[in-house]
Chain A
Amino acid sequence: MSSSASTDILVANNLNKTYTQRTGRLGLSSNKIKALDNVSLRLRAGSTLAVVGESGSGKSTLARCLLQLLPLDGGEVLFQGQNLAKLSGEALRQERRHLQMIFQDPFASLNPRMNVGDIVGEGLLIHKLGNAAQQREQVVKMLERVGLTAADTKKYPHQFSGGQRQRIGIARALVLEPKVVICDEPVSALDVSIQAQILLLLKSLQQEMSLSYLFISHDLRVVSISRTILP
């Protein structure tokens, strides 16, 4: 590894991931799907790295492996120089706060039994960031920045439209003021006007907090916009 690695906040070296899928009537045979084939990347602190690729090319797999949500078959992920696979319990949880994800599928990633205030505030609670009143205030502030309102904290995910749910997921990730956000198709469910609002929000947060983004998209147009606005 080079010595300039100190400015690289997230580094992936030779990631490999193969899924095994059972086939046949009794599931006795199987076929293998290679989703990551020796993938390496470096994300510099405060910058944005775009990952593009066709549907099924392994983008979401990469995101989940970077976050240790999925075990790797090979390779390592270094966050601020630390190998995340070697951390556990409290230490891993500490790092997780700073490594957040906006999921591709906002519906499946929001707990249907929690109200929006609790969903967005859960991370603040887990990481004991501020007292209850401060947490509420943070939650409302972030919801407003993504175009939702204080009244929405009392509602449940199914009461929102597709684009509104995606914005709930965005608020949940950003409210923790993480260092790195892995954005898996963050604006694909949003109409052009809200897309612009969210991309501008990501930009201003990057400037305020020197955030780094790994930006996954199948839409080259969105990527080129994000490149111009998220240099």
Chain B
Amino acid sequence: MTELLRIENLTISPKAEPERLLVNNISFALESGKTTCIVGESGSGKSLTALAVMGLLSDQLRRQSGHVYFKGQDIAQASHEQLRKIRGKQIGMIFQEPMTSLNPVLTVGYQIGESLAVHLDLSGAEIKARVASLLQQVGIAPERANSYPDELSGGQRQRVMIAMSIACEPAMLIADEPTTALDVTVQAQILKLLDELKSRMHMGMLFITHDFGVVADIADNVVVMFRGEIVEAGPVKDVLQNPQHPYTRALLDCVPDADGNKPLKPIDYAWLQAGAA
């Protein structure tokens, strides 16, 4: 197994408030052909971690310390040109918010084709055929290539993002809540598609999700984040079946059961007050 990604002691804070640690000294690694799921409460730093890997943190934020290595190369040392080559071709990213990465004035077909044109040497006809095939693979009729992003439903937009991110068959895919708008049938289709890439191309996947059904389905390893820190990490079986940290236990306790009979309850923070953190 080759190591694809290694995050070492990554710490992120707002430039204006350097003492506020949004991501606090986290480390983990990802191998090719493996999937790591990041779970954790809303606001715990999952998306910022993903953005830092892509070198795409907003300029209000700063990586205070730590390193991100992709295939051994320090992302922070990479030039803009190198980063541009890595993004899209080597690392595909599905952002949590489709509209921030889709251009509203270009058709979705054009935008999927664009990433192919930038990174691969293909003719116009080849690009068109690939775009049609990618749309089909994510369950969208190929003629919708002519649609603009705001002419698609929420779930269709999400699927366009997925098609864009895998267009160049990247070595690593970072997917930030990529299936939140999808019903179970379409979601299963997408997860199967990603799994194929994983076995065929040995793609590694960093997958942020709040859906524990998805985690159980696709993860090899799980990273649990809470308030900027990794509180627990390990093989999926260990984390789901034998969680060690009280936050992981409290979170798993909130997972609804399939028939909705389990009474709903907010997360229990008793362990925090007890100083068990």
Residues of A within 8 A of B242 (CB): none
What is the chain B residue whose CB lies nearest that of A163?
B42
B184 in the interface (beta carbon within 8 A): yes
Contact check, B42 vs A60: say whether CB atoms are below 8 A apart: no
Contact check, B146 vs A22: say whether CB atoms are below 8 A apart: yes
A127 in the interface (beta carbon within 8 A): no
Interface hits, A44-59 → B, CB 8 Å: 53-56, 59
The winner among B39, B47, B184, B256 for most chain A CB atoms within 10 A is B256
Contact check, B258 vs A221: say whether CB atoms are below 8 A apart: yes
Partner of B254, one of A107, A108, A188, A196: A196
Please report the C-alpha to C-alpha distance between residue A198 and residue B96 in the assembled complex, in whole angstroms: 20
Our count of residue pairs bridging A and B at CB distance below 8 angstroms stands at 128
Residues of B within 8 A of A185 (CB): 154, 180-181
Interface hits, A12-59 → B, CB 8 Å: 19, 21-24, 31, 53-56, 59
**Given that A21-B147, A107-B99, A196-B265 are contacting pairs, would A161 and B181 also be in contact in the complex, using a CB cutoff of 8 Å?**
no
Contact check, A197 vs B266: say whether CB atoms are below 8 A apart: yes
What is the chain B residue whose CB lies nearest that of A192?
B254
Shortest CB distance B130–A (Å): 19
Interface string of A83-118 (1 = CB under 8 A from B): 000000000000000000000110110000000000
Contact check, B183 vs A193: say whether CB atoms are below 8 A apart: no
Residues of B within 8 A of A162 (CB): 42, 47, 96-97, 176-177
Contact check, A158 vs B58: say whether CB atoms are below 8 A apart: yes
Interface string of A181-225 (1 = CB under 8 A from B): 000010011111111110110000000000000000011111111
A3 in the interface (beta carbon within 8 A): no
Please report the C-alpha to C-alpha distance between residue A225 and residue B254 in the assembled complex, in whole angstroms: 12
Number of interface residues of B (CB under 8 A): 49
Partner of A163, one of B43, B152, B156, B184: B43
A228 in the interface (beta carbon within 8 A): yes
Please report the C-alpha to C-alpha distance between residue A149 and residue B86 in the assembled complex, in whole angstroms: 39
What is the chain A residue whose CB lies nearest that of B265?
A196
Shortest CB distance A46–B (Å): 20
What is the chain A residue whose CB lies nearest that of B152?
A56
Interface hits, B165-190 → A, CB 8 Å: 176-177, 180-186
Shortest CB distance B248–A (Å): 11
Partner of A55, one of B41, B42, B183, B254: B183
Contact check, A188 vs B146: say whether CB atoms are below 8 A apart: no
Interface hits, B151-209 → A, CB 8 Å: 151-156, 159, 176-177, 180-186
Contact check, A21 vs B146: say whether CB atoms are below 8 A apart: yes
**Given that A105-B99, A191-B210 are contacting pairs, would A54 and B260 also be in contact in the complex, using a CB cutoff of 8 Å?**
no
What is the chain B residue whose CB lies nearest that of A198?
B266
Contact check, A193 vs B153: say whether CB atoms are below 8 A apart: no
What is the chain B residue whose CB lies nearest that of A29?
B146
Shortest CB distance A105–B (Å): 6
Residues of A within 8 A of B261 (CB): 228
Contact check, B260 vs A193: say whether CB atoms are below 8 A apart: no
A132 in the interface (beta carbon within 8 A): no
B40 in the interface (beta carbon within 8 A): yes
Residues of B within 8 A of A192 (CB): 210, 212, 251, 254-256
B60 in the interface (beta carbon within 8 A): yes
Please report the C-alpha to C-alpha distance between residue A162 and residue B255 in the assembled complex, in whole angstroms: 20
Please report the C-alpha to C-alpha distance between residue A167 and residue B85 in the assembled complex, in whole angstroms: 36
Please report the C-alpha to C-alpha distance between residue A229 and residue B264 in the assembled complex, in whole angstroms: 8
- Which B residues form the contact surface with A (CB < 8 A)? 39-43, 46-47, 58, 60, 96-100, 139, 143, 146-147, 151-156, 159, 176-177, 180-186, 210, 212, 250-251, 254-256, 258-261, 264-267
List the 5 closest A-B pairs by CB distance, nearest first.
Answer: A55-B155, A163-B42, A224-B260, A191-B210, A193-B267
Sample of 30 A–B contacts (CB below 8 Å): A19-B151, A23-B146, A55-B156, A55-B181, A55-B182, A55-B183, A104-B154, A104-B181, A108-B99, A147-B42, A158-B58, A161-B47, A162-B47, A163-B43, A164-B42, A164-B43, A190-B210, A191-B251, A192-B256, A193-B250, A193-B251, A193-B254, A193-B266, A193-B267, A196-B256, A196-B265, A196-B266, A197-B267, A218-B182, A219-B183
